[in-house]
Structure 1
Amino acid sequence: MNLLDRIKTISKQKGLSLRTVNERAGLGPNAIYKWKNTSPSFDKLEKVAKVLDVTPNYLLGREDHSSNAPVDLLDGVRMYNGKPINDQEKEMIKALLDAYRKGDD
């Protein structure tokens, strides 16, 4: 996967168009599309990485995962107050956290 494809994929996962990423990164019109045939400067790549909440190395394919990628911490939770947490309770907690986050927008 090349740089442009990776940016497209991550943008889509985050619900952003390339145009939006371009604007939020403060780049010129269609700058990201031009990266199909040219290499961006590091500062431009860094701006796009920041908008997408990933590392520049992740965009370049040098890392398999982004150090800024979200981690599902509930996957490791097995108990609360000494009592086991089942899958249904984990889903309820995730739904509560999602609702809480949407309230911050």
Structure 2
Amino acid sequence: MNPKQRVKELLLNPIDWEVRSIAALERKLDISNGTINKWDRVAPSYAYAQSVANYFGVSVDYLLGNADEKKPTQTEPTEKDLEDAFIGAEAYDGKPITDHDKEVIKALIKGYLDTKEG
């Protein structure tokens, strides 16, 4: 299956009801009009493939037809992953999130992941 076919397959179960076509996906991801339609003849650039894969939550290998598993290999979250999750999270429900609040939330997430069975 080529990348264009994979995109069409992924669009059958839309994440966003406004994105149900290749053209709508291209607009959403700021990809030039007609680019994905060429993916049955031309290999996509890595940047575009990564953008589409991220949008659908699949691996680039799946999108390119190199893997049958949709999800990328899961790795344990790192401290940096947790820090990155807080970028832009300055408030919740109109109330500010303090540095102390962030540390408490990170500890809860770590505790949950430590007890979660793989």
Give the TM-score normalised by the residue count of structure 2.
Answer: 0.52
Query: 1: CA distance between counterparts of 2:33 and 2:26?
Result: 7
- Are 2:79 and 1:66 equivalent residues in the alignment? no
Between the aligned residues of both structures, percent identity stands at 26
Match of 2:9 in 1: 9
Q: Does the CA-based 8 Å contact 1:22-1:28 persist in structure 2?
A: yes
Residue 19, structure 1, aligned to residue 23, structure 2: yes
TM-superposed deviation, 1:20: 1.6
Task: Mark the runs of 5 or more structure 2 residues left unpaired by the alignment.
Answer: 73-118
Contact residue 57 and residue 71 of structure 2 kept, 8 A: no
2:13 & 2:4 partners in 1: Cα distance?
14
The separation in 2 between residues aligned to 1:50 and 1:23, in whole angstroms, is: 15
Structure-1 separation of matches of 2:7 and 2:39: 10
Name the structure 1 match of 2:35. Answer: 31
- Kindly indicate whether the alpha-carbon contact (under 8 Å) linking 1:21 and 1:52 is maintained by their aligned counterparts in 2: no
- Provide the C-alpha distance between the structure 1 equivalents of 2:24 and 2:55, rounded to a whole number of angstroms: 10
Measured in 2, the distance between the counterparts of 1:52 and 1:23 equals: 15
Cα pair 1:21 1:51 within 8 Å, conserved: no
One-letter identity of the residue aligned with 1:53: G
Aligned letter for 1:61? G
Verify the 8 A CA contact 1:22 1:29 in the aligned structure 2: yes
RMSD, aligned CA: 1.5
Aligned length in residues: 68
**Which 5+ residue runs of structure 1 have no aligned equivalent?**
69-105
Amino acid at match of 1:54: V
Output the TM-score relative to the length of structure 1: 0.58
